[in-house]
Chains A and B, each alone.
Chain A
C-alpha cells in the first residue's frame, strides 16, 4: 500500500474507473440533475460527502460487525441503512443551516441515497479487497469522478438544447448518445501506463 499505489488508485477512481463512464453507475441522477446547474452543484457536493462517509462506515461495519458474525449476506441491508442515515443527516443539516439551498434541492434529495454510485463504490471496494484508507479514498475520488461527469455533462447538455434531433430522439436518447461519446473518450485512460503496469491490463473482459 505504497503512496504511489494510493495515488494510482485516486487517479483511476476519477478517470480510468470513472463510476459513470466506465462502471455505468449514477446515470439516473446525472441526467435528472444536470438540467439545473445550481442544484447540480449542491447535489454533487452532497453525494461526495455521503459517498466518502459511507465508504468509511461501510468498511467499518463489514470488518467489525459482519465478518466476525459471518453475516456478510446482510451487507446490502446494512450498507443501505448506512447510506440512508447519512443522506437523511445531510438533508437535515442542509435544511437547518442553508435553508435557501435546501429549498432548491429538496426535490432532488431522494437522488442522493437512491443512486447506484454511492452503494456501488462501497460494493466495488469490497470486490477489490480495499483496506480502510483505500476504501475512503476510492469513495472520495469516485465521487469526484461523478462530479466531473456532472460538470462535463451540464455543459454538453446546454449545447444539446440548441440541436434539432428527430422527435423520438429529443431529450434523453440524445443525452445517452452524447454520454456514450464521452465514455468513448474516457476509454482512452484505460491504456495509460504508469510504469507499474497499466491500469486496465485487459482490453475486454
Chain B
C-alpha cells in the first residue's frame, strides 16, 4: 500500500476518471439490454393509470411536451377501440397526484387520486373521498375556475383536488383552444 501513496495527485484523478468511464460503459450495456422491458413497463403503467378514468382504452398519445403546463406531469390523448370522439386525461400534482379525464368537448368525466407512483391511492377510495371527487364530474374545462361545495374527503384534501383540477382545466383549455376562440376538434 505504501507504493500507491507516493504517486501524484494526477494519478488519483486518472484512476477515478477510469473507474467512472468503466461504470458508464457498464451502465450503457445494461441499459441496452433492459430498455425494451423498461419501455414496455412504462407503457403498461400509463395504460393502467388511464384506465382508472376511462374504459376501452386501446392506445394513447403523449401530448405532455406540447401542451403540458406548470404543474401537470402528463397529458394524454386517449384512443379507444370503439372509435368514439377523442378523450383526454391529465395527471397533475407533485406529491399529491390526481388524474382528470376529459371528454372531447372539455367536460370532465372523472377524477381519481393517485399515489406518487401513479397507482390509485388506496386511501383515497373511502366514501367521503369518492363523494368529494364525484363533484368534479360534468364541470367544463372552460369554466373560469373550479368551485365545489366545501366537502372534505377522508384522506384527500379538497383544496389540493381543486388546485389539480384547475391546472388540468387550463391545460385542456389550451389544447382544445377553448380560450374564447371557437375551434373545431376532430
Contacts and interface: CB of A to CB of B under 8 A. Distances in A.
Determine direct contact between A and B, CB below 8 Å: yes
Interface of A: 1, 71, 73-74, 77, 81, 84, 127-129, 193, 195-198, 200-205
Given A77-B23, A84-B16, A201-B160, 18 more contacts: A73-B31, A74-B28, A77-B20, A77-B24, A81-B20, A127-B116, A129-B73, A197-B159, A197-B163, A198-B159, A200-B96, A201-B95, A201-B157, A202-B123, A202-B155, A202-B156, A203-B155, A204-B123
Contact of A200 (B95, B121, B124): B95
Interface residues of B, number: 26
Contacts of B121: 202, 205
Given A77-B20, A127-B116, A196 B123 contact: no
B94 interface: yes
B156 A201 contact: yes
Interface string B126-165: 0000000000000000000000000000011101111100
B24 A74 contact: yes
Nearest to A204: B123
B163 A205 contact: no
Interface of B: 16, 20, 23-24, 27-28, 31, 70, 73, 94-96, 113, 115-116, 121, 123-124, 155-157, 159-163
Contacts of A201: 95-96, 155-157, 159-161
B123 A203 contact: yes
A193 B155 CA distance: 14
